Chain A
Amino acid sequence: MKKSTKNVSDVTIRFAGDSGDGMQLTGTQFTNTTAILGNDLSTLPDYPAEIRAPQGTLFGVSGFQVHFGSAEINTPGDVCDVLVAMNAAALKVNLANLVDGGAIIVDTDGFNDRNLRLSGYASNPLKDASLSKYQVFEVDITKLTQLALAESNLSSKFIDRSKNFFALGLMYWMYNRPMEPTIKWINSKFGNKPDIKDANLKVMQAGWSYGETTEMFTVRYEVAPAKLPPGRYRNITGNQATAWGLMAAAKKAKMDLFLGSYPITPASDILHELAMYKNFGVKTFQAEDEIAGITSAIGASFGGALGVTTTSGPGIALKTEALGLAVMVELPLVVVNVQRGGPSTGLPTKTEQADLMQALYGRNGEAPIPIVAACTPADCFDAVFEAVRIAIKYMTPVICLTDGYLGNGSEPWLIPSFDALPDISPKLRTDPNGFMPYLRDEKTLARPYAIPGTPGLEHRIGGLEKQHLTGNVNYEPENHEFMVKLRAEKVERIANDIPLAKVEGDPKGEMLLIGWGGTYGAIKTAAINLRARGVNVSHLHLRHLNPMPKNVGEILYNFKQILVPELNMGQLVKVLRSKYLVPAIGLNKIQGQPFKSTEIEMKVEEMLKGKS
């Protein structure tokens, strides 16, 4: 039959099913193919902490949302245009986020009595009128998958497991995407399991053909490529960008990369990624606990390697004492915190920005540590590179904050030229003449980096207070105060060495939105939308949170109102209020989910209305 094609500027699709249904894989494949087609995009994997939660339950629903378009895309989408629901629970959990008139593609097999009971439906939503405001496409995906594999020798368990490829094939057809990238992926992934390989290929093709041949689907959609800056692109997740940024930085520092790390959600993928690159000389050490993760990294840094530890909030809590040690011994160290919902174990797989205060102040004694934050998945590369640069140049631990949303999310990335990245290698001390372990560089206040193996520079460092210059143990009152202030000044002086903050929008005006970290896309989108409606609003996003750029105060004083959207109870806002004495107001969300840009827009409009 004749199908029509409709052009749309952007689409948000959410794949949702049981946590064992392969929704993350389906979403990732759809994303990679879409990226290759040249769309801009942003993703939101949203999955439960349980690996295989009981089937059919509401809490076992795993989702993957992808927002792609022909214009710039900064968020994974406030609402979905399309929901692929593999069972009743997936429908129930995600329906509230579906736009009125949106499309629902359901696997009818996931709506049996048991499914309906587990998801709390009194009556079958496919049979009553509750979905009348949506376009519902009922497809028996499970049965069609079984039919496609009728001649396969695979057990029914394996057959049912490939039904996600049916959904993928159908969506590829619907949004006019080629199957080749996924075919290539299946061939390499299951090359040594021909039965499974063939089954997945066959089922994906069946999904595509189903769209092509049945009368149910009459419209296909076309999303033209985005007009992105020219160059070579790839798709990248935040955790992968973090790993690669560390590797690039180590090479540019002429140091071997040493990662001491303990598995923790959502940071483990950095460890997995780095473990693959042994031919780059990367040493990964899966330590016995978080404390050994950081202390082994400190030991490696003492030996002249680039010591790094990666973790999430609870891990930082355990590393706290060692962070203080790194401050005291003044060795380069990079600590990556892929933040998640807290406190305690909290929400392991959900995102949050509630570890800023922990990064700033979470240690005993006066222990200042520079902090940088990544603002998009690909930006993790630049953020962690900057963290390494500061750590080496200033002989200090640096905390790099990302979060679960950035770490697991992905976006197209204009591949940087490795050769164009700056040389950040340290000057290792080799001259014994006049050597003192705590004799500082006049400009940076960094102490000399003298590593074991250097003849004539034998010296001792440690966590006890150091005497200025000699580094000997010293308990004198004046020396302690002097050293505390010196360590603080060293960190403060980094402000001379970082770019000034840049406002997006007017440099002065009615309203400034100021944020940090993974809220960048949502705040940016809100500001763009508000300006399009004639609202005077500007946006400042901070890369450096300690020290802050020198012009932040000046910028703040140029606005009548300041709103600080954060996924916490108001942490940056507290810092800004105390540091710059401005009446900044917080917009806070603590639901384990990123901001929707509309939430920010509404708050701004409410504030401006209240004022007039």
Chain B
Amino acid sequence: MSTLVEEIKKEAAAVATPKYTAKDFQSNQDVRWCPGCGDYSILAQTQRVMPDLGIPKHNMVFISGIGCSSRFPYYMETYGFHSIHGRATAVASGLKLARPDLSVWVVTGDGDGMSIGGNHFIHLLRRNIDVKVMLFNNQIYGLTKGQYSPTSEIGKVTKSTPYGSIDYPFNPASLALGASATFVARTMDRDPKHLQSILKKAAEHKGTSFIEIYQNCNVFNDGAFFQFTEKETKDDNVVFLEHGKPLVFGKERDKGIRLNGFTPEVVLLKDGKYSVNDLLVHNEKDSYLSFILADMTFHTNVPRPFGVFLAVERPAYEVEMMRQINFAKEKRGEGDMNKLLNSGETWVIG
């Protein structure tokens, strides 16, 4: 006996996927973020990337928790679920397990995903359920008007930390790797091209994809990432990770990262002491390396890495779940409720 969901899927499969434009992914709701918020760019890049994925929009679901970023689903003309604080990853897990055919995206923030939702976040990653997580990191609580977050730097002065924060911050990329994520990347709101390319790679990955997106909150934490995002400082403070390529950075592309033992260090390519051949070559399949690269984040003597830290294959949870179900059906036959009710020890009276 087929389920109602299977019938819906059958009917929908008969409908050809139209050629979409970004506009097809814009809902009729007014976008209500503060003017100048980094969220606008992330929304625009997401809507631009979606048509390229070749997925019918009725098969896409955006799920969020609570916070500024979590309003995101309202603005996407797909299915959407604005759930409760910290739980988007758990809602998404249930949806993806129930419906492996859907493309499920989670939009969360540093408070929603790293603080109240930290537990669900790490468990989603270790299970490797095929859900795409976009974490908007602005290092502040915006919707509650400016308290420090789990990614705020030590010493951060906010309304709730008038003497400065004494919380050591999470580095979300390292946390994700520590939770055995199979896809971990970092990008930023102010680099549309890079953001788009990372979104595409995340979409293609089979398993949980985690994308940390540096996002400027121009009201409560303006400029938190300017040294990485602004033209004047970006080139010298950012190194873009590209699979199979050496780690070169700098305005003149004259600096690189070399591994000294296990420690990354900056070397100059101009003075003849080192050449490109001495540099660390990125390998996004190398999980050992991914930890080293992610750990560069809080070291001030090296540039901050952006790009894909890790992209490795591991069976997705929902695939394994279906494998067990199909195996059980094959071995024991499709479940028969009448048979089950009458199984084991029974007796007749009268």
* Chain A residues within 8 Å of B, Cβ to Cβ: 32, 35-38, 181, 225, 228-235, 244, 247-248, 251, 254-256, 258, 260, 277-283, 285, 287-289, 291-292, 295-300, 302-305, 307, 321-322, 325, 329, 415-419, 425-426, 428, 430, 451-464, 472-473
Hey, which chain A residues are within 8 Å of B335, CB to CB?
247, 277, 279-282
Task: Tell me if B82 and A462 are in contact (CB < 8 A).
Answer: yes
Q: Does B272 contact A (CB under 8 A)?
A: no
Contact of A234 with B94 at beta-carbon distance under 8 Å, contacts A299-B63, A428-B8, A453-B99 already known: no
Contact of A321 with B5 at beta-carbon distance under 8 Å, contacts A299-B98, A303-B98, A305-B99 already known: no
CA distance A292 to B61 in the complex (A): 19
Contact of A460 with B59 at beta-carbon distance under 8 Å, contacts A232-B348, A299-B93, A302-B81 already known: no
* Chain B residues within 8 Å of A, Cβ to Cβ: 1-5, 8-9, 11-12, 15, 27, 29, 56-61, 63, 66, 73-74, 76-85, 87, 90-99, 101-102, 119-120, 123, 321, 324-325, 327-329, 331-335, 337-338, 340-342, 344-350
> Assuming A229-B349, A321-B84, what are 14 further A-B pairs, CB within 8 angstroms?
A230-B349, A258-B94, A278-B325, A288-B90, A292-B119, A295-B120, A296-B93, A299-B96, A300-B95, A300-B99, A303-B5, A415-B346, A428-B8, A452-B99
The 28 listed contacts between A and B (C-beta, < 8 Å) are A36-B345, A228-B349, A232-B348, A233-B347, A235-B345, A254-B2, A255-B3, A278-B327, A280-B340, A283-B97, A283-B98, A283-B325, A285-B94, A289-B119, A298-B83, A299-B91, A303-B5, A304-B99, A307-B98, A325-B83, A426-B4, A452-B60, A453-B59, A455-B15, A459-B80, A460-B79, A460-B80, A463-B84
Hey, which chain B residues are within 8 Å of A280, CB to CB?
334-335, 337, 340
Task: Tell me if A232 and B342 are in contact (CB < 8 A).
Answer: yes
Task: Tell me if A285 and B97 are in contact (CB < 8 A).
Answer: yes
Task: Tell me if A325 and B99 are in contact (CB < 8 A).
Answer: no
Task: Tell me if B120 and A453 are in contact (CB < 8 A).
Answer: no
CA distance A283 to B129 in the complex (A): 14
Q: How far is the CB of B289 from chain A (nearest CB, A)?
A: 29
Task: Tell me if A299 and B92 are in contact (CB < 8 A).
Answer: yes
Task: Tell me if A300 and B119 are in contact (CB < 8 A).
Answer: no
Indicate which residue in B9, B85, B87, B340 contacts A244 across the interface (CB closer than 8 Å): B340
Hey, which chain A residues are within 8 Å of B123, CB to CB?
287-288, 292
Hey, which chain A residues are within 8 Å of B83, CB to CB?
295, 298, 325, 462-463
Closest to B29 in A: A472
CA distance A258 to B347 in the complex (A): 32
Q: How far is the CB of B325 from chain A (nearest CB, A)?
A: 5
Which of A32, A233, A295, A426 gathers most chain B CB within 10 Å? A295
A-B CB contacts (within 8 Å), total count: 244
Indicate which residue in B8, B59, B321, B329 contacts A304 across the interface (CB closer than 8 Å): B8
Closest to B27 in A: A460
Task: Tell me if A458 and B120 are in contact (CB < 8 A).
Answer: no
CA distance A325 to B94 in the complex (A): 15
CA distance A37 to B80 in the complex (A): 56
Hey, which chain A residues are within 8 Å of B73, CB to CB?
460, 462
Q: How far is the CB of A225 from chain B (nearest CB, A)?
A: 7
Closest to A416 in B: B341
CA distance A234 to B90 in the complex (A): 38
Contact of A452 with B345 at beta-carbon distance under 8 Å, contacts A299-B90, A302-B95 already known: no
CA distance A363 to B331 in the complex (A): 44
The 5 A-B pairs with the shortest beta carbon distances in the complex, nearest first, are A230-B350, A462-B82, A296-B94, A280-B335, A299-B94
CA distance A352 to B15 in the complex (A): 54
Which of B56, B90, B93, B348 gathers most chain A CB within 10 Å? B90
Indicate which residue in A38, A307, A430, A461 contacts B82 across the interface (CB closer than 8 Å): A461
Task: Tell me if B12 and A455 are in contact (CB < 8 A).
Answer: yes
Closest to A258 in B: B98
CA distance A37 to B27 in the complex (A): 66
Task: Tell me if B93 and A285 are in contact (CB < 8 A).
Answer: yes
Q: How far is the CB of A69 from chain B (nearest CB, A)?
A: 14
Hey, which chain A residues are within 8 Å of B93, CB to CB?
285, 287, 292, 296, 299
Task: Tell me if B79 and A231 are in contact (CB < 8 A).
Answer: no
Hey, which chain A residues are within 8 Å of B12, CB to CB?
453-455
Hey, which chain A residues are within 8 Å of B350, CB to CB?
228-231
Q: How far is the CB of B19 from chain A (nearest CB, A)?
A: 15
Q: How far is the CB of B81 from chain A (nearest CB, A)?
A: 6
CA distance A597 to B34 in the complex (A): 66
Which of B63, B78, B94, B324 gathers most chain A CB within 10 Å? B94
Task: Tell me if A460 and B84 are in contact (CB < 8 A).
Answer: no
Task: Tell me if A260 and B342 are in contact (CB < 8 A).
Answer: no
Which of B123, B341, B346 gathers most chain A CB within 10 Å? B341
Q: How far is the CB of A470 from chain B (nearest CB, A)?
A: 10
Hey, which chain B residues are within 8 Å of A283, CB to CB?
97-98, 321, 325
Task: Tell me if A304 and B4 are in contact (CB < 8 A).
Answer: yes
Indicate which residue in B8, B91, B337, B344 contacts A298 across the interface (CB closer than 8 Å): B91
Task: Tell me if B101 and A181 are in contact (CB < 8 A).
Answer: no
Task: Tell me if A260 and B94 are in contact (CB < 8 A).
Answer: yes
Task: Tell me if B90 and A292 are in contact (CB < 8 A).
Answer: yes
CA distance A19 to B96 in the complex (A): 41
Q: How far is the CB of A25 from chain B (nearest CB, A)?
A: 16
Contact of A459 with B84 at beta-carbon distance under 8 Å, contacts A36-B345, A285-B94, A453-B9 already known: no
CA distance A425 to B2 in the complex (A): 12
Task: Tell me if A452 and B94 are in contact (CB < 8 A).
Answer: no
